[in-house]
Structures are given as structure tokens and as C-alpha cells.
Structure 1
């Protein structure tokens, strides 16, 4: 094998590893939450979430920083949640339809900076400890070809949440 092939394969492998690198969202005694891009995401989104624990909470704030490469007139997402290699949830939602949209990023123009905070609510349920994986995909249209981002989220639940509000 000549030196050019070795250099090319090394660069290709290191680029693939960097593209799949996990980004830590938060860490607490309760959980570890991280994400990475899946596949060849077209756009980069930066996420944040707080507070970084589950005990006593079912509401969080999520922040999104994003510069869309198309006008955001229609936007839909799919989320698939896995626990112990079993699909436990598949959720599809249309976020933007072009009129009377609930999210502030709906209507953002191509190249416009989106920096927004949104409320995230969850059920007050006891989830088993372990590792959860969620795949979140965003589409600018109705077709799978309209994919503009794909993110893998990993949540490691270190202890079962308790919701004692008394």
C-alpha cells in the first residue's frame, strides 16, 4: 500500500471519529446526557438543557442555537426512543406549518441565527435506571429527502427519579 493511501485512510478514519464525537449536555448525580450527530447531518444545532437532574422535576428549559440553511416555513420531527435495545417510543410532530406557529424559530429565514429557549415537560413517572438512546430527526418537508439534521441523544439514568413534592 503506498503512502498516499495510508494518509487518505488515516484522514478519513479520523474525520469519521470526530464527526461522531459525543457532546456532553449535562452531568449530575442523577444522570448523564450527551448527544452526537448521526449520519451526515446537513446542519449543526447546539443544544442545552437545565436543570440537569430528574428528582422532583418534570419541567426543564431547553435551549437551541441554530443557523438554518433554508427558510423555516415547514418543520417536522421524528423521535425514536430506545431502552435496552428495545424501541419504547416513536413520536412524530409537525412543529411549523407556516401560520399561527407556537415556536419562535418558525418563520426563521435562511442564514438567520436562531437562539431560543423552550419549555420541555415530562411525565412524573418512575423510569428504570439504565441507558436510553433517542434519535431525533428534523425535516424541512414531508419527504425523507428533506432531512436537515439527525442527532443521537444518550441519557444514562443513574438512579430512579422520585417526585416527592411534600
Structure 2
């Protein structure tokens, strides 16, 4: 029985190792905006959702994120880059956690712990524009804005805690 269990486990690991990407997940879906993401970390997937899902964003949105830590986080930095048709149009880096930070409950967490954050986040973005602007959209009403977003979280040792490739489609 132990040999059979070992063989099934080895076969499962082999089959799983053939899959090179995590599945595509939906962040949100609304009348004029859709969001999808895929974890770019080969060892773990992340959970993420945003509400509400509108092109005109409210000042504060509700976010849920979950991931299992593979390293401690005394310091946590967010790097965010936005691309339109492979051209970087926006880049942002922000220190989320530091040793004295008490704003987020996950700051200071240790390897093996689960990070689960559910709460309000202020983005400071009013409207997600469409590619080409309104004038171009009037010429071609089928034109849709698609934005690719690279999201990375690094700890104090510059270890990648989590990363994801997001696609936002603005109708």
C-alpha cells in the first residue's frame, strides 16, 4: 500500500509540475470594467478581489487578499506598474510595512502564517480611461481599453512575497 501511495504522489507532483501557470482568476466584473489576474509566483497562488467594479471608482474600495507567507515580513514594499500595449505608462512603489508599523494587522507576520486582509483601501484614481480617449472611442465604438498591471510585494531581504499579473478591461 505504501508503494502505491508513493507512486500516486509522485505522479501527482509530476503532473502538477507540467503546469507552468496558475489559473486565471476574476478580481471583479462590472458593467464597464472587468478585472482578471494570475499569480506569477511558480510556487503559490494568491487570492484577490475588489468591490465595487466600476470604471468610475469610488474614493475607497473594498479589497480582499489572502496568501501564505514563505518568508517573514518586517518590511513590505509594493511595486506596481501599469502597461498599455506593452508601454509602461505608470509606476508606483510604496512601503506598506516597517518594523514599527501597526496600521495593517499583517505587518510583522512570520513564515508559514496566513495573510488575510479584508478592508477599505484608498486608490486615489477617479476614472480608468479607455485607450485613445473619448474622441477615438467615438470613431470606433468597439475600441476597448486594456491595461496590464504588474503587482509585486517584497520583504526587507528583497524576497518576492507575492506577485500577480492583472488585466483590467475598460468598456
TM-score, normalized by the shorter chain, greater than 0.5: yes
TM superposition score normalised by structure 1: 0.75
Partner of 1:130: 145
Partner of 1:79: 80
| Contact 2:73 2:108 survives alignment (8 Å) | yes
SS at match of 2:19: helix
Q: Distance in 1 between matches of 2:27 and 2:128?
A: 22
1:15 aligns with 2:30: no
| Contact 2:56 2:128 survives alignment (8 Å) | no
- What is the CA-CA distance between 1:105 and the residue it aligns to? 1.1
Alignment: residue pair count: 144
User: Which runs of structure 1 show a deviation greater than 3 angstroms over 4 or more consecutive aligned residues?
Assistant: 11-14
Equivalent positions of 1:18-29 (< 5 A) are 19-29=21-31
TM superposition score normalised by structure 2: 0.73
| Contact 2:22 2:45 survives alignment (8 Å) | no
Partner of 2:169: 156
Q: Distance in 1 between matches of 2:63 and 2:170?
A: 18
Cα deviation code 1:119-164 (max 9, x no counterpart) = 2323224612500010011111253xx1232210000001xxxxxx
2:39 to 37, 40, 61: 37
* CA separation of 1:64 and 1:13: change in aligned 2, threshold 3 A: closer
Unaligned ranges ≥5, structure 1? 1-10, 159-166
Unaligned ranges ≥5, structure 2? 1-14, 131-143
- What is the CA-CA distance between 1:69 and the residue it aligns to? 1.7
